Structure 1
């Protein structure tokens, strides 16, 4: 044996150096595989001559779900909406919980409107089956609908005209429709006042209802911060009201003017149901679609009826998760004010921004926050760096958009655009302005 080993060593030494290196490397790899190769034992019988014991383990549904691939995805438990600071405008003018209102504009369809709020296409189809006219919505018509806690459509109201309102209530797997026709007399009213206290209090004193105050706030939400109006500021509102038996059944805001700090602000309704300034320019501030410089892969989609893969319970995913590397700059998607910038147990470091009075965005699981509550920001400003904080199993950015206190799909939501009227639309609008402005004359 020693002679054989000595002969092998001599032969190895006589080899060229490249060959010695290659042979040595192969030897090391072979030995490593031999040492680390797992040993598999397949017994037919154990040491006592008996057959091996085979035990079957039954897993329940929850255990099976925990083994599925989707169970390894981040399961966001976002900060509660109650964490968002409220003010008198929210408390007294806010919409009923679960209810949303929408004015139909150019390019809208029933499915495009409802789908951004997570309503299933099957429900939209069932609704359209109840009334095929819903497939032909007109610009300026108003929809309002109610969702339950699981995001399911319960009722939708379609204001087809000033006199006809259709209501569709859930009935089994479909919807049952009903028609309400109002034959009142429409009258225009100009309501004026000065601020003495909050805008809410002063507007009520001038004769506006809660719903009408809400319309005024939404019309001028991009021009004014209503919380910063001062005593002595003037306002004038033109309302079109339908009167029946001496009572107002419904109303439409036609125009509003507010003088604050020596400057006049106007918003006048056009035929498309939207509000513009005296020159026909759009009042809304444009939004970015994505909160990052470039678009990243979506790792988890918006789903108001998402089934938690581990617990098996409905756990709404009210935003979109983007698979972004830690440290990626996070941008504000629109002009607004930071209302939350702090650490939350589940959401980690997160930021909430209010844009006007209808819109809010939230950004979660951040590594570093770059803004403070109360800070005014512009579209495209850096507000944070993405991270993996809070309840998260991997680096990602959780992004939410809320409209009228309801979460919508950030990828499909119809966002404000600062476009103005052109051509014949602008000419028709300017003719309306000439009639409305004199009625809104401020002292």
Structure 2
């Protein structure tokens, strides 16, 4: 009993001590300190009970709403009212969302916030005045400089600098018609000036653009400057120090591929049909959902599905050239839509007669299917003489900045 009494006395003393501290804190400040205000998505989250979650495979908007007590009839009304701003049918697995609920006993869902990507999000009001607004987080652009040297591959050299793999893709895309990256030599050097995007000035969310670069390959410098020569299209291109275009009318490939799994041939054993037949395309193997891009400007003349092609897109580039992209898991363009070189038109899949994820890229010249690797394809337009002085004035400070960056050596 004495031990129990002693323990009780110690507990009472501890409580009294804490109460005394709280009372002193209150007397010294005159108030109890409020929790810090949490502001996200343009809202004060302290005003709500917040549920954070991620869209899982098989989830859909109605199912998510049902989980939080929103009946199907109300979900239909919400979907109809916001469909011009937000399409609930297009929420994607892996994307994050929030449910903001009232803090009363009813705990009613008042807002649904969906992250379209790391920058852009949509706020859907679920209250009496239903609406949806598309918003974006504030993004800071930072200019960076980089210098590297090849010891084995471009990706290894750039990863050694701690930069994003996206920058590797951007740089190789710029020089794809000037430099054979499978034949880089040990000791080749590169430098660049580029810009990166950050949320809250600290969270990296991607490469904005490469402004200028120089690649010293086989002791020859290849300069590249990002310049908007066509104000109508609004899309810049890369030119060298003599105002010549580095890019071609066509990209070499419709995606950032792992390997070419099958080339254009008149005789190939089909892995599904188990017979010898012509393969009038080039197969690029890549992981599922790798973005597929249009290799040139043009208009979509088919965005459809067949049992053999799976999901496919066909693009007419001019009176002479047409391309087609097969076996997509999902198409991203519609029939009749105009697309620019590099625009995403779909995603790698294995629909139709395919045994694994890849895109079959087909190429027509004057209505005849041909091997694009054997064509003398046109280059992009160089800067016209009347605009060269303006171009040279634009690139002069960029070239000076590049030249001032020291090369790295092995």
**TM tier, shorter chain?**
0.3 to 0.5
Structure number with bigger Rg: 1
More strand by share: 2
Which structure has more relative contact order (CA 8 Å, sep 6+)? It is 1
TM-score calculated relative to the size of structure 1: 0.37
TM-score calculated relative to the size of structure 2: 0.39
